[in-house]
Amino acid sequence: MNIFKKIIKLYLSSQFISSILMLVSGTALAQIINIAFYPLITRLYGPDSFGSLGYFSALLSFIVPFSTLCYPLALVLPKKETQVRLLIDISLKLSILVFFIVAIYFFIINYFYPDLVPFRRSYYFVPVGVFFSSLVMIYSQLAIRRMHYKIISSLAVIIAVLGGFLKISIGYFFATDIALISISIFLLIINFLYLFFLLKIKLSFSEIFCLKKKHLAIAYRYIRFPFFRMPHSVLAIVSQIAPVFLLTFYFGTSYAGYFVLTRAILTAPVTLMGKAVYDVSYPRINDNYNKGLGNYDFIVKTTMILAVISLVPLFFIFMFGDFFFMKVFGDEWAVSGTYAAWMSLWFAFNFFNKAVTAAVSVYSLDGFLFRNGVVNNFLSLTGFLVGALYFNSDIIAIALFSCLSIFSQINLIFRVLSAVKKNELQVH
């Protein structure tokens, strides 16, 4: 018994585990809060409002990678803080430029095609949402570089409590899609301000609007991020949001609403622990690589542990998803439970490959990641269209979409492990 206690104590004392526990504790509380609010929120707003919110969120998710060209994802890699500062400057310049482009674009759409998307009279929210989403992306990656996991953890709880309270209190009087979208924008602003003041980054407006040779040099040094990570991020987002657009187009906004709720619930465990593992693994793998240390055993063990952890919730959701969603969220959400049974397979692989994904940029596999994403989107979207057009079934469409997404995940795991192993053999 004493030996067992010593092993547990040694395991928990490691910096890696402590960092994960720090992130998981805050994220877990945030997810519990979110889930606790959902039974009330779903009874106030209904599938149509959720469908419109999902459509809006999908637009933001699709545009944001273009707004910074994914340069914030490189913030963990530089050894010198001067290079980090330059990357932040480049990201801010790009986000401001894209803000004006998107604002003009949606002003034109609002003037000529006001009925193009479900949420009317709110086009002006899109450029604002894109801008603050970009800022949150920049400062979140900076917090990860500095290992400010306590800040990230506390922020998750604050956003969860504030978001749930606003959705219920405002929804009691104005249960509309515009209300949900407005709350989402407000939470993005709070997210940014919290990180901005705690990270204490000074901004010079004269520098923000000035482009120098040193900015171009750092942009060229990390050119693989806009060349490969940005297109891959767009492809990954397309894979996430395509069902929202396609379900809206083929079956109606209510079915998109079912999908949005299912995705929100299944994202909880991925955010709870999977993202924490990624955020902690990324700087650790990069540090080991710079020091000539091995990462293969660490990545394999982490992946296997997460795979085992995912088995129990995967089985539960697959077997009892429809019953769970009906009892917790109301009878009208039974379809969400059926979606969850199939989508859980897709999310399980997204959950336990986090350490693998964290190693991609460190081992310069961004090009492979992009090509793998192209294959993934082709397979999954083809599966969805077969289900929608040939079988005329939203459930078969979601099932094929989810199952075919697994193949690229398996390919990613084996390719990254092969590259890591090859690198270690060359070093040693």
CA 68 to chain centre: 16
Residue 246 has pLDDT above 70, yes or no: yes
CB 345 within 8 A of CB 402: yes
Which CA distances in Å does 406 have to 185, 232, 275, 409? Answer: 33, 16, 19, 5
Q: Which of 192, 198, 184, 203 is nearest to 260 (CA)?
A: 184
The stretch 393-417 carries a mean pLDDT of: 90
Q: How far apart are CA 237 and CA 256, in angstroms?
A: 16
pLDDT tens-digit map of 121-151: 566 788 899 999 999 899 888 888 877 777 7
Residue 121's pLDDT is 57
Residue 117's pLDDT is 55
pLDDT tens-digit map of 11-46: 444 565 666 666 666 666 776 777 777 777 777 777
Sign, Cα dihedral of 246, 247, 250, 253:
negative
HSE, CB side, 13 Å, CA atoms: give it for residue 341: 16
**Tokens linked to 95:** 């986000």
Helix axes 366-385, 394-404, angle to 10 degrees: 160
Residue 66 has pLDDT above 60, yes or no: yes
207 — pLDDT class (breaks 50, 70, 90): low
10 — pLDDT class (breaks 50, 70, 90): very low
Mean pLDDT taken over the chain: 80
Share of the chain above pLDDT 90, in %: 8
**Tokens linked to 373:** 């994403």
Number of Cβ within 10 Å of residue 11's Cβ equals: 10
CB 188 within 8 A of CB 136: yes
Residue 400's pLDDT is 92
232-246, 273-287, 400-414: range with highest mean pLDDT: 400-414
Q: How far apart are CA 280 and CA 284, in angstroms?
A: 7
Greater model confidence, 424 or 114? 424
CB 259 within 8 A of CB 243: yes
385 — pLDDT class (breaks 50, 70, 90): very high
Residue 307 has pLDDT above 70, yes or no: yes
Q: How far apart are CA 282 and CA 280, in angstroms?
A: 6
Strand, coil or helix: 354: helix
99-108, 205-214, 232-241, 307-316: range with highest mean pLDDT: 99-108
Residue 24's pLDDT is 61
Q: How far apart are CA 224 and CA 210, in angstroms?
A: 23
Burial class (CB in 10 A: 0-12, 13-18, 19+), 319: exposed
Which residue matches tokens 């767009």? 234
71-85, 107-121, 135-149, 391-405: range with highest mean pLDDT: 391-405
Looking at residue 298, its amino acid is F
1 — pLDDT class (breaks 50, 70, 90): very low
Whether the model clears a pTM of 0.95, i.e. scores above it, the answer is no
